Amino acid sequence: MLYPITRIPAKILLGTYFRHVHINQVGRIPKGKAVILAANHPTAFIEPCIMACWLDQPLYYVVRGDLFSKKLFAWFLETYHMVAFFRMKDGGYSKIKNNYRSFDRVFNLLAAHKPVMILAEGSTRHEKRLRPLMKGTARMAFGTMEQKDLDDVVIVPVGVNFTAPNETRSEAMISFGDPIHAADFLEEYAANNNKGILELTREVRRRLEPEVLIIEQPEREDVAEFFFEFYRNEHQLPLWPVTVKSDQRLRDHQQISSWIHGLEDAKVEDLRAKISEYKDALKANGQSDIGMANRKKSSPATGLLLAAMVLPAVLGWLLHLPMTSIGRWIVDNKVKSLEFKGSIFIASILGGYLIWLPLYFLFAALAGFWWLPLFVPVLGYFYVIFRDKLKRWQSAWRLRHLATERKEALIEMRADLLAQMPKPVQ
């Protein structure tokens, strides 16, 4: 019931939180078949929300059973198509027994050609790596074929990638891999169940890996993240459309990661020293790399345009201040896990709308202008766009008025780093 009602406002909110959502190869999800979407799991629940909002067909989700500990919570989650699976630590054998019922539900959904999404790593971790996959995806596929007498279940690997999921105006990159037909592994499964499950799980990983941004060496992560951001500043996309149907961004990030992985240790240390020198110089001169990348976009005319946008932007900020302030307070004071921070902030904003928007309508109706709150989301988005443009313009304007000698030194350092980086994938 709540799934279709909140889908549109959730998509608007996610399309504001993320500057761009890159979607690649959605057509690899077959229609009219039993389909399991097997994704990696970098955040608490942002990836299922994006999938729910950006895919046309309703999805069903396999989630941790401990979330269903209270009846009201269980009802709420079930309205969002969530199916509970329990682990031993969620309540011992008494809870594990409930999984028989959960497997039956998944089998029935797949038999009815309703796609099921599973977070194949089994737990969430905020990192740009692919962890070992659990065997649940293979068990569901083979179980459905056995219990429902199906000829095949199609598993579609889904690579979920975020530039920085806990930061507003970051980017999401979703890429669908080559489908896997569980029927191709049925003979091996029939001969030896465990071996069949293991081989299918390995194949899911093999096809999922190319769709995931992976930093192979954690000790080089700082260098990789610098060049990821450096690349995005150098190759900025237009504000619209928010949805980008391409894998260009992902492949370029993967190319940078592969380049860093292949460098000798001495070269990495050389780059790290140059990065440190550049960052120190930026800080000493009150500059930022985004300003360096936008140094030719600091015209007075743009400043005048931004000045004209101030009043509606401030109004949008004020109308959303109760929601964002409460959301930030919850994240800063109540959320300990890094993987949950972005997810909880987004959920708190959406929940805030359900509370504050009716109040705005009430006050507006009493004043005789009931329709005014319809512009609240528009003004909120206007403020976000204004903040983006102002940040870039201010950074570039400061650089424009920097002493020539210092400016040229920064430009030279940046050009040196840019020359090191591989060219974008064509």
CATH number, domain at 136?
Answer: 3.40.1130.10
In a domain, 414, yes or no: no
Q: Are residues 134 and 44 in the same domain?
A: yes
> Where among 194, 214, 234 does a domain terminate?
214
Q: Are residues 57 and 195 in the same domain?
A: yes
Q: Are residues 368 and 227 in the same domain?
A: no
* 329-to-80, 244, 324, 334 alpha-carbon distances in Å: 26, 32, 8, 8
Q: Are residues 162 and 91 in the same domain?
A: yes
The partner residues of 118 in beta bridges, in order of sequence, read 38, 62
The span from the CA of 75 to the CA of 422, in Å, is 50
Q: Are residues 253 and 190 in the same domain?
A: no
Strands 116-119 and 170-176: unpaired
In a domain, 413, yes or no: no
Q: Are residues 259 and 194 in the same domain?
A: no
What confidence score (pLDDT) does residue 47 get? 96
In a domain, 362, yes or no: yes
What confidence score (pLDDT) does residue 67 get? 64
Q: Are residues 312 and 229 in the same domain?
A: no
In a domain, 382, yes or no: yes
Element (H, E) at 84: strand 82-85
Q: Are residues 230 and 371 in the same domain?
A: no
Q: Are residues 254 and 347 in the same domain?
A: no
Whole domain around residue 247: which residue ranges? 219-284
Helices (H), 285-403: 289-293, 300-308, 310-334, 338-366, 376-400
What confidence score (pLDDT) does residue 426 get? 63
In a domain, 408, yes or no: no
Q: pLDDT tens digits, the chain, 426 residues: what are they?
A: 678 888 999 999 999 999 999 999 999 999 999 999 999 999 999 999 999 999 999 999 998 766 666 677 677 778 889 898 876 565 555 567 777 888 999 999 999 999 999 999 999 999 999 999 999 999 999 999 999 999 999 999 999 999 999 999 999 999 999 999 999 999 999 999 999 999 999 999 999 999 999 999 999 999 999 999 999 999 999 999 999 999 999 999 999 999 999 999 999 999 999 999 999 999 999 999 999 999 888 888 889 999 999 999 999 999 999 999 999 999 999 999 999 999 999 999 999 998 999 999 999 999 998 999 999 999 999 999 999 999 999 999 999 889 999 999 999 999 999 999 998 876
What confidence score (pLDDT) does residue 299 get? 85
In a domain, 290, yes or no: no
> Where among 244, 260, 284 does a domain terminate?
284
Q: Are residues 113 and 260 in the same domain?
A: no
What confidence score (pLDDT) does residue 68 get? 64
What confidence score (pLDDT) does residue 80 get? 83
**Do residues 148 and 111 touch, judged by C-beta distance below 8 A?**
yes
Q: Are residues 210 and 223 in the same domain?
A: no
CA-wise closest residue to 161 among 257, 83, 266, 72: 257
What confidence score (pLDDT) does residue 87 get? 64
**Do residues 409 and 311 touch, judged by C-beta distance below 8 A?**
no
In a domain, 28, yes or no: yes
How many domains is the chain partitioned into structurally? 3
Q: Are residues 83 and 145 in the same domain?
A: yes
In a domain, 332, yes or no: yes
> Where among 255, 284, 313 does a domain terminate?
284
What confidence score (pLDDT) does residue 71 get? 72
